[in-house]
A = this chain, B = another copy of it.
Amino acid sequence: MNVGEVAALAGVTVRTLHHYDRIGLLSPSGRTAAGYRQYSAADLDRLHQVLLYRELGFSLEDVATLLDAPDADPEAHLRRQHRLLRDRLERTRAMVAAVEKEMEARSMGISLTPEERFEVFGDWLPEEYEAEAEEKWGDTDAWAQSQRRTRSYSKNDWVRIKAEGDDIERRFAAALQSGAAPDSAEAMDLAEEHRQQITRNFYDCPPAMHAGLGRMYVEDERFTAHYEQIAPGLAQYVSTAVQANAARQG
């Protein structure tokens, strides 16, 4: 077979085969008088192995080393490839699960920590990383600390936190129905309580950031929906109160 046919069969370009020839990874076993590359069945076998290893992320140099190892029997390669492929399967499954988790979390209004989201990346060694992280900046970096904070919450903590949140929302709703203006002291106090609750339980939330959240409550339909479900007009009410409070706090 000459290059074009092999390329079509294997799903690679002619240039790739040229390249593999040039670097000695896969040289066709023969040439025609005119210099055309002639690939044998054995060459195809080798190409197949090359492509599998390449797909698995090996550099071409490493692939060459693997395939040219003196004790290289085909079965061993197959077993190794099989193992590597199953590792990848696992990893992909984990990534799918992570995305599903994120979707589900979003649909429930829960937000995941960055650490959780990045978990699936890198061959990061959990133990080492945790230890190193704590050593290096665990205590100095407030942000990372707050991440670790939410991570260590138990089920009961989460129940309590959610109850706290619901409580404030109910009191906001009551204030709204009582006719208190969203920029009244009462509403602003509630907003401040809300802000401090976020700071205690999740992350440091200065007034400016809080105001940003407030804006979001009316700009993002999903947050709006969350509040509108409790009481009509509540999204706008909370949003205004939060921003008024932020202005008050300076």
Chain A residues in the interface with B (C-beta under 8 A):
1, 5, 8-12, 41, 44-45, 48, 51-52, 55, 74-75, 78-79, 81-82, 85-86, 88-89, 92-93, 95-97, 99-108, 110, 114-115, 117-118, 121-125, 129, 132-133, 137, 141, 143-144, 153-155, 157-159, 161-163, 165-166, 198, 201-203, 209, 212-213, 216, 220-226, 228-229
Contact = CB atoms under 8 A, between A and B. Distances in A.
Nearest to A201: B107
Given A100-B213, A106-B74, A158 B85 contact: no
A75 B75 CA distance: 45
Identical chains in the assembly: 2
Given A9-B115, A114-B41, A121-B51, A85 B92 contact: yes
Given A1-B143, A103-B75, A121 B10 contact: yes
A225 B92 contact: no
Given A103-B82, A213-B104, A11 B96 contact: no
Contacts of A95: 52, 55, 85
B96 A137 contact: no
Contact of A158 (B143, B154, B221): B221
Given A1-B141, A89-B89, A162-B225, A44 B114 contact: yes
